[in-house]
Amino acid sequence: MSESELDPRFDRQVRFAPLGLEGQRRLGASSVLIVGCGALGGALALQLVRSGVGRIRLVDRDVVELTNLPRQVLFEPGHVGRPKAAAARESLARIGGPSQVEACAEHLDADNIAELARGVDLVLDGTDNLATRYLVNDFCVERGLPWVYGGVVGASGLVLPIVPGASACLRCVFPDPPPAGSLPTCDTAGVILPAVAAIAALQCGAALRLLSAARESWRAHRSRLIELDVWNLESHTLDAARDPACPCCAERRFEFLDAGAGGATVSLCGRNTVQVRPALRANVELEPLAARLSASVLDLALRDGVLSFRAEDKRFTVFRDGRALIEGLDDAVRARALYDRFLGS
């Protein structure tokens, strides 16, 4: 890229010496997967688009809720009920610029992560659950793909950029997921926008530094775990050493990746909602399904490739990959029974 070929919108960015014209060229040629496009993921996508990253793939399993609006910067009241990935892409399109944004309203799991991450140079963590993070870590270590872990609860959060082969991986620092219910969540401790913005900024800064650098320079990456508390104005940085006995990056055991997905149910963080997946992955023809359900359910609507309706005092949102979000309960067994009753196994 020559100075005459530079999009004028990036003039001030290119003046930042560590980036420069060559770094901007690399950003424009790079591709990033953002897993989750709610609070963290939306802020990450916004910054990547405004920075001129070439291709951005958004993956999110959820729909927009009213309670998302205070901290999820890409959504507006008119987006409530729509798939987050599609709504985020719509908001990002209004910014303009050269970035190509792809929206995938899917649940990332062991069965589809390879396809969803196909062709990307880096993965950014915008998820709301540890299981997905450990799966992403397995996949990225196996493929030698850099990724940036980030998590926020309350007013504080953590960031760990990971370059497989050069730095510690997630399991070097946190060998195993903690027991369910042992850590605070957004549901129990809440979350505020400044914490989201701060953690997303650090994640994005790490991503831009990696993407704009020559790949051979990644070998010199230094592992550091960063903790921020925006309420008490505190920060801590810890060196994160590689664990020679790490089950993932040292022993090359990819337990989360090898576990597969199956027809699991998942309770969504901060929501009285259960996600149910079909036992066998298959695309669902939503139009015939809507016709079949029309006489037995309420508030039936088909929009953005998503079917929604109300039945048994529960709200169903059905995606083309066969997943359904069932709002109004937290009982996985009951959710599976309702899924089988209205949608089939």
The CATH code for residues 265-343 is 3.30.310
Catalytic residues: 186
Q: Which residue has the higher pLDDT, 313 or 199?
A: 199
Residue 78 has pLDDT above 80, yes or no: yes
**pLDDT bucket at 345, cuts 50 / 70 / 90:** low
Architecture, CATH, for domain 3-258? 3-Layer(aba) Sandwich (3.40)
**pLDDT averaged over the chain?**
90
Tell me, what's the pLDDT at 183? 66
Q: Which residue has the higher pLDDT, 146 or 189?
A: 146
Euclidean distance between CA atoms 304 and 42, whole angstroms: 19
Q: Which residue has the higher pLDDT, 162 or 342?
A: 162
Tell me, what's the pLDDT at 259? 81
pLDDT digits (tens, 9 = 90+) for 226-283: 999 999 999 999 999 999 999 999 999 999 999 876 557 777 766 789 998 876 566 7
**pLDDT bucket at 14, cuts 50 / 70 / 90:** very high
Tell me, what's the pLDDT at 305? 86
User: What is the pLDDT averaged over residues 116-135?
Assistant: 93
Task: Considering only CA atoms, give the Rg of the chain.
Answer: 20
Tell me, what's the pLDDT at 277? 83
Tell me, what's the pLDDT at 187? 62
User: What is the pLDDT averaged over residues 4-33?
Assistant: 93
The answer to whether the CB of 195 falls within 8 A of the CB of 189 is: no
pLDDT digits (tens, 9 = 90+) for 192-233: 999 999 999 999 999 999 999 998 888 888 889 999 999 999
Domain locations in the chain?
A: 3-258, 265-343
Sign of the CA dihedral with 117 first, then 130, 249, and 168 last? positive
